[in-house]
Amino acid sequence: MATPLTPFLLISLTLALFRPSFSQKSCSGETFSQNRVYTVCNSLPQLSANLHWTYHPANSTVDVAYRAPQSADGWVAWALNPTTSGMRGAQAIFAFFDSNNAMTTITCPLPNTQPTIRNTSLSYNVYSMASEFSNNVMTIYATIELPNNKTQVNQVWQASNQFSNGLPYGHLQAGPNILSEGLLDLLSGELSSTGNSRIHLKNRHGVLNAVSWGILLPIGAIIARYLRMFKSADPAWFYLHVGCQCSAYIVGVAGWGIGIKLGNDSKGITYNSHRNIGIALFILGTLQVFALFLRPNKDHKYRLYWNIYHHLTGYTVIVLSVVNIFKGFDILEPGDKWKHAYIAIISTLAGIAAILEAVTWGIVLKRRRSVEKFQNGANGATSSYGYGGGANQGA
Ligand SMILES: *[C@@H]1O[C@H](CO)[C@@H](O)[C@H](O)[C@H]1NC(C)=O
Ligand SMILES: *[C@@H]1O[C@H](CO)[C@@H](O)[C@H](O)[C@H]1NC(C)=O
Ligand SMILES: *[C@@H]1O[C@H](CO)[C@@H](O)[C@H](O)[C@H]1NC(C)=O
């Protein structure tokens, strides 16, 4: 049985393609007011932001300049997170125009994912701070004490046009705005998302679920529906179908578990419909697997009801999976190429299913006609197709 290999091939291939890539060093030409210079710079992987810094090991301080595109009616923020990764616990510096139309810089720790922003001191010292705006670019300058003398710190950064009472308030909950985090290594000058397992987890969640629920399950359904028409494929189609769906279920549950973890880790931000559909899928998928053990013999009078149940649940799972994968694309915004690739795959599968459906009906009608001819119009023609379970349903 070759099927169990297929998902792993698909997954490793996709994981290899899905690594976030950092385009570095587009920052090196940038210059700063007051002859400020920095020893290292890096282009951050989201929101077109750049970070420049000079690290002083002697007193464990760092001078930073954070620069990002922003219009005059928006705000930018940059933060280190001394305790964990992501937004919760981050110590943020905000820059924006205040009500007097003066560029202002404030600090605020972010205790949760829906904080009220007001000028509050951070958990570490900020020795100096400034910000400026020109040509739709905002720059934050700061000299800070590194928390616990760390040289590797998680950072998050953000941009938004939302304000409340003249202070920054909220940002988009999708795409680059939820991926703008990573590990900053002050010594090596490297940025990475290692140590920032959340971005890896988000990508893994997307890939595992798209491959399992979104691709393998429909393939397994196509195998069951169309292969069994061919007598020579009996009972191979059955094992292929079970192998495909069980692999999809195992991989899918792994992806689902990551999704639940991601949801629990980001308290305050809940993607309700994506989450609820995900939970429904897990329940229905699990029922499908356990229903396999309750499958009556093919001559049993309840087999018909089991078949109806199995088909309804199966098709519901496939439709909900595809819907939820598109909802996931809207949340993660992994880039158009991923969405287009998935659309191409799922449309190809749909096209194949449509062609096989036509071929199958051709065969069914032909068989029915020859049976009718043989029985001379007697009322004995049964379809070998559909909920009836199939004459040649194996195993
Ligand atoms: C830290 O040390 C650097 C030189 O190593 C110095 O320029 C800077 O003023 C010091 N900063 C503080 C806050 O003491
Ligand atoms: C923010 O608070 C600090 C210290 O409390 C103060 O020095 C600074 O002027 C305040 N900034 C603004 C913009 O309110
Ligand atoms: C950080 O390093 C400085 C200078 O080496 C030292 O004086 C200070 O105690 C250290 N702080 C912590 C929290 O380790």
Instruction: State pLDDT tens for residues 268-294.
Output: 667 889 999 999 999 999 999 999 888
Asked, for residue 312, whether it belongs to a domain, the answer is: yes
Preceding peptide of 82 cis, ω within 30°: no
- In order of 35, 49, 95, 130, the CA distances from 138 in angstroms are 17, 10, 7, 11
Q: Are residues 249 and 155 in the same domain?
A: no
Does 347 share its domain with 262?
Answer: yes
Q: What is the identity of the amino acid at 88?
A: R
254 pLDDT more than 50:
yes
Out of 54, 59, 149, mutate this one to test ligand 1's pocket (max ligand atoms within 8 Å of CB): namely: 59
> Does 15 have pLDDT greater than 60?
no
Task: Supply the residue whose CA is at minimum distance from atom 1 of ligand 2.
Answer: 119
Going by C-beta distance under 8 Å and a sequence separation of 6 or more, which residues neighbour residue 304?
387, 388, 389
pLDDT digit string (tens) for 182-240?
888 888 776 665 445 667 788 889 999 999 999 999 999 999 999 888 878 888 899 99
Same domain, 121 and 256: no
- Same structural domain for residues 360 and 236? yes
156 plus 239 within the same structural domain: no
With respect to residue 388, please indicate whether it lies within any of the assigned structural domains.
no
Q: Which is the closest atom of ligand 2 to the Cα of 98?
A: 13
Residues 41 and 141 reside in one and the same domain: yes
274 marked among binding-site residues: yes
For atom 12 of ligand 3, the residue with the nearest CA is 148
Give the pLDDT confidence score for residue 266 in this predicted structure: 67
What's the number of domains the chain is made of?
2
Q: Flag the least confident range among 103-112, 118-127, 163-172, 371-380.
A: 371-380
How far is the centre of ligand 1, averaged over its atoms, from the C-alpha of 89 (Å)?
26
Cα angle 374, 375, 376; round to 5: 90
CA distance 255 to 206: 7
Residue 379 and residue 363: Cα distance in Å, rounded?
Answer: 19
User: 112 with 143, same domain?
Assistant: yes
pLDDT in tens, 347-379: 999 999 999 999 988 888 888 888 777 665 444
Domain match, 282 and 356 both: yes
Q: Which residue is closest in CA terms to ligand 3's atom 3?
A: 59
Predicted TM-score (pTM) of this structure: 0.63
61 with 186, same domain: the answer is yes
Summary mean pLDDT of the chain: 85
38/178 same-domain check: yes
Residues 176 and 211 in one domain: no
Residue span of the structural domain in which 87 resides = 30-192
Q: What are the tens digits of pLDDT across the range 25-57?
A: 578 889 999 999 998 888 888 899 999 999 998
| pLDDT single digits (tens) 306-342 | 999 999 999 999 999 999 999 998 888 777 888 999 9
What are the structure tokens assigned to 326, written together?
């598109």
- What CATH code is carried by the domain that includes residue 125? 2.60.40.1210
What pLDDT score was predicted for residue 179? Answer: 86
Whether 288 and 361 map to the same domain: the answer is yes
Does the beta carbon of 60 lie inside 6 Å of ligand 3? yes
pLDDT of residue 25: 58
* Residues above pLDDT 90, as percent of the chain: 55
CATH of the domain at 226: 1.20.120.1770
Least confident of 96-100, 112-116, 370-374, 379-383: 379-383
